[in-house]
Structure 1
């Protein structure tokens, strides 16, 4: 399984940002509401982050030597996939709400309330935390290399294997 690439996360975030901006532009100019998630979705985001960290901690404890029982390889693989999905979902949330924020800032002079701005900022922060947790838990799943000099089997830097 390949590691997360910052370029892909950035590309996903930019595509979601463009989509968020376009949808918000169309919606607000045609009398519809702002297409942002409600602030209560931060509770769901927190639950996803907590679950990812709990499973990641189990893999990390095993990786660091607490091996009183064998690590289920399916659990380790699912933890890795969950971490990567968390990072991508965070990139989508960050991008979407950044696109909405950009359009809402332009409309601030004609709006009577700035609630959509604060909601977008809060959901962007949740997306950033999801990306960070995804990257950290992905690193938890990486096995340390067995080499002393840090070189992989091909003589270069290895990406490391996953638990």
Structure 2
């Protein structure tokens, strides 16, 4: 499985930012409320980030050999999927609220209450944290190259092009 590309996340964020900006312009034109998630969404985002980090650290500890007990492969796969979902969800939230924030900036001097603007900034910041945690935990779930893998880095290869024991992980089942 390939790692999530930060450039793909950036492209998605820019596209969603344009959509969020357009939605904020349209809702403002027709006197509808600004399409921003409530601040209670930060609690949900915090729970998702915390869960992703806890599971990711668990996988990282096993991968680095600090746990003797074998890791459930389904749990590791779920952690990877959760990390990727966290990154993509954070990208959408960041993009949407950045677009809304850009629309609110043009009205900054005309409004006495900038609560919606700061709410959009807070939600965009929460989305950015989700992206960072998702990408970091996704890297926690990487396993080292297998024996004979032609894609293994040169520093893991021995004299004859075969991987050396350094940097590899042995089965730790007791």
Shorter-normalised TM-score: what interval? 0.7 to 0.9
Once residues 34 and 82 of structure 1 are traced to their aligned partners in structure 2, the CA distance between those partners, rounded to angstroms, is 30
Residue matched to 1:15: 15
Structure that is richer in helix per residue: 1
Once residues 68 and 151 of structure 1 are traced to their aligned partners in structure 2, the CA distance between those partners, rounded to angstroms, is 24
Residue matched to 1:161: none
Once residues 21 and 151 of structure 1 are traced to their aligned partners in structure 2, the CA distance between those partners, rounded to angstroms, is 48
Residue matched to 2:97: 97
Q: Give the drift of 1:105.
A: 0.5
Large movers: runs of 4+ above 6 Å: none
Q: How many residues align?
A: 153
Once residues 156 and 119 of structure 2 are traced to their aligned partners in structure 1, the CA distance between those partners, rounded to angstroms, is 46
Which structure would you say has the larger Rg?
2
Once residues 130 and 47 of structure 1 are traced to their aligned partners in structure 2, the CA distance between those partners, rounded to angstroms, is 11
The one-character-per-residue Cα deviations of 1:18-68 (angstroms, maximum 9, x if unpaired) are: 110011100011010110001111000000000001110110010010232
Residue matched to 1:35: 35
Unaligned runs of 5+ in 1: 156-163
Residue matched to 1:159: none
Q: Give the drift of 1:72.
A: 1.0
Residue matched to 2:84: 84
Q: Give the drift of 1:14.
A: 0.9
Cα distance 1:151–1:5, how it changes in 2: closer, same or farther (>3 A)? farther
SS class of match (1:110): coil
Question: Pairwise mapping of residues 68-83 of structure 1 onto structure 2 (< 5 A)?
Answer: 68-83=68-83
SS class of match (2:9): helix
Once residues 59 and 21 of structure 1 are traced to their aligned partners in structure 2, the CA distance between those partners, rounded to angstroms, is 39
SS class of match (1:80): helix
Aligned: 1:149 with 2:129: no
SS class of match (2:39): coil
Give the CA RMSD over aligned residues: 1.7
SS class of match (2:4): coil
Once residues 109 and 145 of structure 1 are traced to their aligned partners in structure 2, the CA distance between those partners, rounded to angstroms, is 56
